[in-house]
């Protein structure tokens, strides 16, 4: 995994360089898909950094009420976004009372992932379709770039044949990166900061869920009724044949 140094942005990585036997190069391709937190954290220099990486499209996994500038965000001129396709494709409907009752206490954990794709499969599938149809050089993000982005990253990396333990390391990197950040979206409740030791302890029973998600990606895609065309497009984005 490669950390992306985009000004004002943290917890951003290129999904290239992961080991996979499906690629002729033995690893996933760089410059195709990046993962990160809310794009409003980027400074104008950060947007320039992202363009230099090859940013062409953004798939935003957040609910509509989470999108927009918050306190402390940078004011960015409209022309900075010119030529970048931005698609809002939320993975969850937080207004669904059944989903909210089941998932609200665990939205900061992969424990909710299976609830999400079982209760709202059309939304998770829609996000995957959006990534598959986006121009290469795609930033996939939510608010923290950790949980929703972690779920989608685990699925697309699993679909590309990446070793599940490497996927788990990627998720752990995001949890550590955001452990000291107490707010991830405008108006959201404050999270509790965690020390590295607390993060490691917390992840003991969480990483097996991430490993299982990547290992069972094809089975989960079946459950979500992801089309063969979307699966193939996602794979082409990440592997050289």
Question: Order of strands across the sheet with 2-3?
Answer: 2-3, 13-14, 33-36, 138-141, 57-60, 85-88
* CB distance 186 to 68 below 8 Å: yes
- Rounded Cα gap, residues 149 and 164, in angstroms: 16
| Residue 78: CB atoms within 10 Å | 6
What is residue 241's predicted lDDT score, i.e. its pLDDT?
67
What is residue 31's predicted lDDT score, i.e. its pLDDT?
97
Q: How far is CA 181 from CA 26, 52, 108, 184, 189, in A?
A: 35, 27, 13, 7, 12
Q: What is the dihedral of CA 165, 167, 169, 173, to 10 degrees?
A: -170
Strand partners, 3: 13
- Rounded Cα gap, residues 33 and 142, in angstroms: 14
What is residue 55's predicted lDDT score, i.e. its pLDDT?
97
- Rounded Cα gap, residues 10 and 171, in angstroms: 14
One pLDDT digit (tens) per residue for the chain, 241 residues: 789 999 999 899 999 999 999 988 999 999 999 999 999 999 999 999 999 999 999 999 999 989 888 777 888 888 888 999 999 999 999 999 999 999 999 999 999 999 999 999 999 999 999 999 999 999 999 999 999 999 999 999 999 999 999 999 999 999 999 887 756 565 555 567 788 899 899 999 999 999 999 999 999 999 999 999 999 999 999 998 6
What is residue 224's predicted lDDT score, i.e. its pLDDT?
98
Q: Decide: pTM greater than 0.85.
A: yes
State the residue for tokens 């969850």.
Answer: 92
Domains of the chain (ranges; CATH) run: 2-238 (3.90.190.10)
What is residue 127's predicted lDDT score, i.e. its pLDDT?
98
State the residue for tokens 């070793």.
Answer: 163
- Rounded Cα gap, residues 229 and 8, in angstroms: 36
């Amino acid at each position: 995994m490669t950390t992306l140094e985009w000004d004002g942005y943290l917890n951003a990585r290129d999904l290239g360089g992961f080991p996979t036997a499906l690629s002729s190069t033995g690893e996933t391709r760089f410059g195709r898909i990046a993962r990160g937190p809310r794009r409003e954290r980027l400074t104008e220099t950060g947007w320039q950094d992202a363009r230099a990486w090859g940013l062409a499209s953004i798939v935003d996994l957040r609910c509509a009420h989470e999108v927009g500038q918050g306190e402390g965000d940078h004011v960015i001129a409209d022309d900075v976004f010119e030529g970048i396709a931005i698609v809002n494709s939320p993975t969850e409907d937080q207004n669904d009372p059944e989903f909210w009752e089941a998932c609200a206490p665990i939205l900061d954990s992969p424990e909710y992932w299976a609830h999400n794709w079982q209760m709202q499969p059309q939304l998770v599938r829609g996000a995957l379709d959006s990534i598959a149809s986006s121009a290469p050089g795609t930033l996939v993000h939510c608010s923290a770039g950790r949980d929703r982005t972690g779920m989608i990253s685990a699925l697309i990396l699993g679909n590309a044949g990446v070793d599940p333990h490497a996927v788990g390391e990627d998720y752990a990197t995001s949890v550590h990166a955001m452990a000291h950040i107490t707010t991830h979206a405008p108006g959201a409740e404050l999270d509790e900061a965690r020390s590295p030791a607390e993060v490691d302890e917390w992840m003991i029973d969480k990483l097996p869920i991430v490993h299982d998600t990547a290992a069972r990606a094809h089975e989960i895609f079946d459950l979500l009724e992801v089309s063969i065309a979307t699966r193939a497009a996602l794979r082409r984005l990440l592997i050289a044949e």
